[in-house]
Structure 1
Amino acid sequence: MSSPLKSSLGLVPGPQSFASRRPFLTALALSLGAAISLGLSRFSYALLLPPMRDDLGWTYFLSGAINTGNALGYFIGALITPALMRRAGAQSALVGGAVLAGVFMMLSGLTVNTELLILQRVLAGIASAFIFISGGVLAARLSLLHPDRAGLLIGIYYGGTGVGIVVSALLVPFALAAAHAQGAAHAWQWAWVALGAVCLVATLAMALPAKHVDGAPSAPNPHGNFRVKPFVFGLAGYFMFGVGYIGYMTFVIALLKEQGMSGATITWFYSLLGVAVMASSRIWARMLDRFKGGQSMAILNGVLGVATLLPALTAAAPLIFASGVLFGAIFLSVVASTTALVRHNLPTHAWSSGISAFTTVFALGQIVGPSVIGWIADGPGGLQRGLIYSALALFIGALLASRQPALAYASSRGNAAL
C-alpha cells in the first residue's frame, strides 16, 4: 500500500507508531472489545439462563426473549454507531461503549423484575454494538499497516470473544457458588455484578493501545459508499447465520443440564469452546485472505450447522465436546469473514458503512433467533428440536453465501497486485 493512502487515512507507518511496531499487541488489546461485547455481555447469558429460569419461573420462550432484547439493542446500536463514529471517532465509541456495557451488566444484578432485566439487556446490546463495530473498524484499519498479516490481525480481534467466553465459564460458577455460600436469595445476581466489573477492568487495559490506531472518520466519497444490491447474498447468508448460531449459544448449556451433564463438565465444555474461538483466527486466516467472495462464509456456515446438530442428536460426551470445540473454532470466523468481504470488495472509506450493514442484518437475525428457538423448545421435542431448526438456518445461510460473488473492485485490486 502506498504511503499517500496510509497518510490520507491518518495511519503512521513509521517506528513512532505503536500499531506499526507492535501489531499483535495492538490487535490483542482491541480484542478485549470483542471479549466485552460478545464473550462477557452476550454469551455469558447461556450460563446464567438455567439458574435465572429456575429462580424466576421463565418459559424457554421468555428465556430466549431476554437475548432477543439484547439483540434488539444491538440492532439499535448498529444503526447509531456510524453517526457516533463520525461525530466522536472510533476510539470514543469503543471505550465509551465498553464502560456502558459494564455498567448495564452490573445493573442486571440489582433487580429481579423481568421487564427491567429485558430493558437492561437492550441497553447492554446498544453498548455492545458501539464496541463491536468500532473495534472492527479499528482492526480493519490496523490491517492496512500490515497487509500480509491482515486476515490474522482481524481474526485476533474477533477471537477475543473466546477470552470473554473462557472468563465467563470460570467466573459465573465461582460467583454462583460464592452467592450460595452466603445464602443469597438470587445467586445469579452476583454473577452479573462480577461480569460487569470484569468488563470495566478490561476497558482500562484496552483504552490506551486503541488510541494508536487511526479512528478518525474517513473523508466522505460520493462514489464509494456501501450499496446493498451487490452484497445481497452475503447479507442474506449472514442474516441466517445470526438466526442459527444464537440458538446454540443461548440454549446449549440448558440442554446439557437437561441431559444430566455436571456443572464441572459444563465449565470444561464452555471453556474449551472459548479456547477454540481464540484459536480460530489462526485456523482460518489464510482462507479469509484467499477468498474474495462469499466462499468463506458458505464453508463456515455449513460446518457450523453440523456442529449445531450434534447436541440435538446425541448426549454422548465426546460428541458434545466435539460440537463445542468445532462450534467455537468456527462461529466468530463467520463474523470475521464479513469484515474480510468488506475489506476485499470496498474502498477504505466505505468500510465503516459496509461493516455496519453486515452488523445490522446480523442483529436482525439474532432478534429472530432466540425467541423463535425458545418457542420451538417449549413445544414437542424440546431443546433438541430447537437446535435442529438452528442448524437448518445455518445450512440455508451457507447456500445463500455461496451465491455471493467477488465484486469488480476486488478483481481490480487483485490485478493491480500481479
Structure 2
Amino acid sequence: MKPSSVVWALSGGSAVAVGFARFGYALVLPSMQADLQLNYAQAGWLNTVNALGYLLGAALAIYFVARLGNRRLFIWGMVLTTLSVLASGLTHDFFWLSVFRFVSGLGGAGAFVCGGVLAGVLGTRAIVIFFSGGGLGTLLTGAVLPWLFEWHGAAVWPLAWIAMGAVCLPLSIAAILSVRAIAEPSSRQVRASWPWRRCLPVLVAYFIFGLGYIAYMTFMVAWVREHASGTAGPAMIISVMWVLLGAMTLLAPLLWARLFDGRRDGLPMGAALFVLMAGAALPLMLPNLAGIWLSAALVGSSVFMVPSAVTGFVKNNLDRPAWGNAMAVATSLFAIGQTVGPAACGWISDRAGSLSFGLAVSAVVLLVSCLLALRQKPLG
C-alpha cells in the first residue's frame, strides 16, 4: 500500500465504528421499533447496551494496549464491529439484537481509540483525516436509508443492517491492511506514565462532550419529525440533514488543518466545541429547514474534530509509549458521558414536557465543555 493511501485506508475504521455502527443505527432504530413493536424502554436499551459495550471496550484498552499493542486491538475491533453490524440484520430476536449492539460498541471502541493513536504516528493531519472518515458512513446512510424505509416500509430494517455490513467489509479489510505500514507506538519495555492531573481540563471536557453531543445525535431525528414542516417530507428532510452532516465531516480536515497543526493547548478542542454548540442550538432558535440543515452542516464540520483535538493534544504533549493508555483513559471518560447523555436528556425532556428543552440543555453542556477545554495549557 502506498504511504499516501495508508491514512485514507485507516480512516475506514472510523467510518465503520462510528459512521455505520453508531450513527447509522439512529436511522434504523425507528423502523426496528415499529416492526418489532418495541416499547421505549426496549428501544432505549438497544442504545444503552451499545454504549456499555463501548465503555467496556475503552476500559479494556487501558489494560491491554501496552500488552497487545494498538495494531492488534484495532484489528480485533474492526472484525468485531463489522461482524456485529452484519449479524444485526440476521435476527429479529431482541436478546440477540442486544448482544450484537453490545459487541458493536465493544469493537468500535477498540477501532476508534487505537485507530486514532495509529493515525498519530503518521502526523497531525492524519489524525484529522482518520476521525473525519466517520463522515463517509454518515453520508452513505443518510443518502440511502431514509428513502429505503419511505419506499419499502419499516419491515426492511434487516436489509439496512446487511447492506451497511456489506459496505463495512471492504472498508475493514483496507483499514486492517493499512496498519501493517504503521509502526506500533506502544511498548512493553517502556513505562507509559503520563501527568494525567495536568490534563484534567481536556479530560473533563471530553467527558462533558460525551454527555452533550450524543443527545443531538440521538434525538435530533425525533425532534425534526415533531417540528419540521413545509413541502419537504420527513424522508427528504432527514436524508439531506444526514448527508450534509456526513459531507461536512469529510470536508472538516480542510477547514481545521491550520488551527490543529502542532498546537499543544486546548484551543483546537475549544474551537471545535464552540462550533458544535452553535450547531446544536441553531434549530431551536431557527426551527425551519434552513436552521435544520445549517445545524447539520455545523455539527458535521465539528463533531469529529473534538476527538481529533484530544488525540492531537495527546500526541503533541506526551511520549509515544503513553499515547495508547492516555487515549484509552480519555475515551473511557467520553464513553461514560455518552452512556449517561441520552437518558439524561430524555429525563430532562420528560420533566419539562418538551424535547426542545432537553436539547437546549445539551447545547449549554457543550458550551461548558468548550470553556473548560480552553483552560488547558501545554504540558511542557
Q: Deviations over 1:33-56 (max 9, x none)?
A: 000000000001221232233334
Amino acid at match of 2:13: G
1:69 Cα shift?
1.8
1:316 Cα shift?
1.0
The one of 132, 138, 160 aligned to 2:133: 160
The verdict on how the C-alpha distance between 1:154 and 1:300 changes in structure 2, with shifts beyond 3 A counting, is same
SS in 2 for 1:245: helix
1:83 Cα shift?
4.3
Is the contact between residue 128 and residue 308 of structure 2 (CA under 8 Å) also seen in structure 1? yes
The one of 199, 202, 207 aligned to 1:231: 199
1:276 Cα shift?
0.4
In the other structure, the counterpart of 2:218 is 250
In the other structure, the counterpart of 1:173 is 146
Amino acid at match of 1:259: H
Q: How does 1:138-153 map to 2 (within 5 A)?
A: 138-143=118-123, 150=124, 152-153=125-126
1:104 and 2:76 are equivalent in the alignment:
no
Amino acid at match of 2:205: G
1:103 Cα shift?
1.5
1:364 Cα shift?
0.8
In the other structure, the counterpart of 1:121 is 101
Is the contact between residue 262 and residue 316 of structure 2 (CA under 8 Å) also seen in structure 1? no
1:126 Cα shift?
0.3
Amino acid at match of 1:165: T
Is the contact between residue 66 and residue 121 of structure 1 (CA under 8 Å) also seen in structure 2? yes
Amino acid at match of 1:169: G
1:61 Cα shift?
5.9
SS in 1 for 2:346: helix
Q: How does 1:179-190 map to 2 (within 5 A)?
A: 180=153, 186-190=155-159
In the other structure, the counterpart of 1:14 is none
Q: Deviations over 1:120-159 (max 9, x none)?
A: 211110000111112111101112xxxxxx2x22111111
In the other structure, the counterpart of 1:210 is 179
The verdict on how the C-alpha distance between 1:60 and 1:283 changes in structure 2, with shifts beyond 3 A counting, is farther
Amino acid at match of 2:81: A
1:89 and 2:37 are equivalent in the alignment:
no
Amino acid at match of 1:130: G
- Identity fraction in percent: 35
1:136 and 2:109 are equivalent in the alignment:
no
The verdict on how the C-alpha distance between 1:227 and 1:58 changes in structure 2, with shifts beyond 3 A counting, is farther
Amino acid at match of 2:331: T
Work out the CA distance in 2 between the residues paired with 1:186 and 1:319: 31
Work out the CA distance in 2 between the residues paired with 1:248 and 1:59: 21
Q: How does 1:259-274 map to 2 (within 5 A)?
A: 259-260=227-228, 261-274=233-246
Amino acid at match of 1:236: V
The verdict on how the C-alpha distance between 1:345 and 1:210 changes in structure 2, with shifts beyond 3 A counting, is same
Q: How does 1:18-417 map to 2 (within 5 A)?
A: 22-23=3-4, 25-58=5-38, 62-143=42-123, 150=124, 152-173=125-146, 175-176=148-149, 180=153, 186-215=155-184, 217-222=186-191, 224-260=192-228, 261-408=233-380
Is the contact between residue 64 and residue 374 of structure 1 (CA under 8 Å) also seen in structure 2? no
Q: Deviations over 1:46-93 (max 9, x none)?
A: 212322333345565654443222121111001212444444433332
SS in 1 for 2:116: helix
Is the contact between residue 279 and residue 329 of structure 1 (CA under 8 Å) also seen in structure 2? yes
Work out the CA distance in 2 between the residues paired with 1:397 and 1:59: 33
Is the contact between residue 69 and residue 187 of structure 2 (CA under 8 Å) also seen in structure 1? no
Amino acid at match of 2:176: A
Q: Give the TM-score normalised by structure 1.
A: 0.84
Amino acid at match of 2:286: T
Work out the CA distance in 2 between the residues paired with 1:109 and 1:313: 38
1:383 Cα shift?
2.2
The verdict on how the C-alpha distance between 1:39 and 1:166 changes in structure 2, with shifts beyond 3 A counting, is same
SS in 1 for 2:261: helix
* Paired residue total: 376
**Greater CA deviation, 377-386 or 267-276?**
377-386
Is the contact between residue 281 and residue 363 of structure 2 (CA under 8 Å) also seen in structure 1? yes
Quick check: which has more Rg, 1 or 2?
1
The verdict on how the C-alpha distance between 1:208 and 1:50 changes in structure 2, with shifts beyond 3 A counting, is same
Q: Deviations over 1:327-346 (max 9, x none)?
A: 00001001100011101211
**Greater CA deviation, 47-56 or 305-314?**
47-56
1:179 Cα shift?
5.0
Ranges in structure 2 where 5+ consecutive residues have no aligned partner: none
Is the contact between residue 121 and residue 185 of structure 2 (CA under 8 Å) also seen in structure 1? no
Work out the CA distance in 2 between the residues paired with 1:374 and 1:107: 29
Work out the CA distance in 2 between the residues paired with 1:248 and 1:233: 23
Q: Give the TM-score normalised by structure 2.
A: 0.91
Is the contact between residue 68 and residue 369 of structure 1 (CA under 8 Å) also seen in structure 2? no
Work out the CA distance in 1 between the residues paired with 2:68 and 2:345: 38
Is the contact between residue 171 and residue 195 of structure 1 (CA under 8 Å) also seen in structure 2? no
Amino acid at match of 2:200: V
Q: Deviations over 1:197-254 (max 9, x none)?
A: 22122112222222111136325434x5133211111111110100100111111112
Ranges in structure 1 where 5+ consecutive residues have no aligned partner: 1-17, 144-149, 409-418
Work out the CA distance in 1 between the residues paired with 2:350 and 2:155: 24
Q: Deviations over 1:257-284 (max 9, x none)?
A: 2224520232111011101011111211
In the other structure, the counterpart of 1:13 is none
The verdict on how the C-alpha distance between 1:318 and 1:177 changes in structure 2, with shifts beyond 3 A counting, is closer
**Greater CA deviation, 385-394 or 332-341?**
385-394
1:357 Cα shift?
1.3
